Amino acid sequence: MKVLQISGGTPLRGTISAPGSKNAGLAILSAVLLADGESVLHNVPNVSDIRIKSQLLETFGAKVRMIEGSLFIDSSDICFSEPEEDQVRLIRTSFYLLGPLLARLGRVRIPAPGGCKIGARPVDYHLKSLEAMGATIRLENGWYFAETNGLKAANLYFDFPSAGATQHMMATACLADGITTIDNAAIEPEVTALAGFLNSIGANIEGAGTGTITITGRKSLQGSVYRIPDDRLQAGTYLLAGAITGGDVTVTDILPENQTALINKLIESGVEVEEGPNWVRAKSNGRMKGIRVKTMPHPGFPTDMQQPMAAALTLASGISAIEETIYESRIGHIPELRRMGANIELQGRTALITGVKKLDSAIVEASDLRAGAALVLAGLAAEGETTVRNIHFIDRGYEDIEGTLQKLGASVTRIEEESAGPKEVLS
Catalytic residues: 116
Footprint on residues 324-383 left by ligand EPU (CB under 6 A): 326-327, 369-370
Q: What residues contact 124, with CB distance under 8 A and at least 6 apart?
A: none
Q: Is 287 in the site for ligand EPU (CB under 6 A)?
A: no
Window 241-280: contact mask with ligand EPU (x via CB under 6 A): ----------------------------------------
Question: Do 12 and 380 form a contact (C-beta atoms < 8 A)?
Answer: yes
Q: Give yes or no for residue 139 binding ligand EPU (CB under 6 A).
A: no
Which of 94, 250, 284, 303: binder of ligand EPU (CB under 6 A)?
303
| Alpha-carbon separation of residue 334 from 293, 302, 321, 339 (angstroms) | 16, 18, 13, 9
Rounded to the nearest 10 degrees, what angle do helices 163-173 and 22-31 cross at? 30
Least Cβ distance, residue 101 to ligand EPU (angstroms) = 18
**Per rule CB under 6 A, is residue 397 in the interface with ligand EPU?**
yes
Rounded CA-CA distance 259/263 in Å is 6
Q: For strand 221-222 and strand 225-227, is the pairing parallel, antiparallel, or unpaired? A: unpaired
d(CA 14, CA 250): 6
Closest CA to 83 of 44, 54, 126: 54
Between 119 and 318, CB nearer to ligand EPU? 119
Cβ atoms of 27 and 261 closer than 8 Å: no
Q: Using CB under 6 A, pick the residue from 76, 84, 139, 160 that binds ligand EPU.
A: 160
State the number of CA atoms in the 13 A half-sphere of 208 facing the CB.
24
Which member of 11, 61, 106, 119 binds ligand EPU (CB under 6 A)?
A: 119
Closest distance to ligand EPU from the beta carbon of 228 (Å): 13
Q: Is position 123 an interface residue for ligand EPU (rule: CB under 6 A)?
A: yes
Residues 23 to 52 in contact with ligand EPU, rule: CB under 6 A: 23, 26
Residues engaged in binding ligand EPU (CB under 6 A)? 23, 26, 92-93, 119-126, 160, 162-165, 186, 188, 190, 303-304, 326-327, 369-370, 397
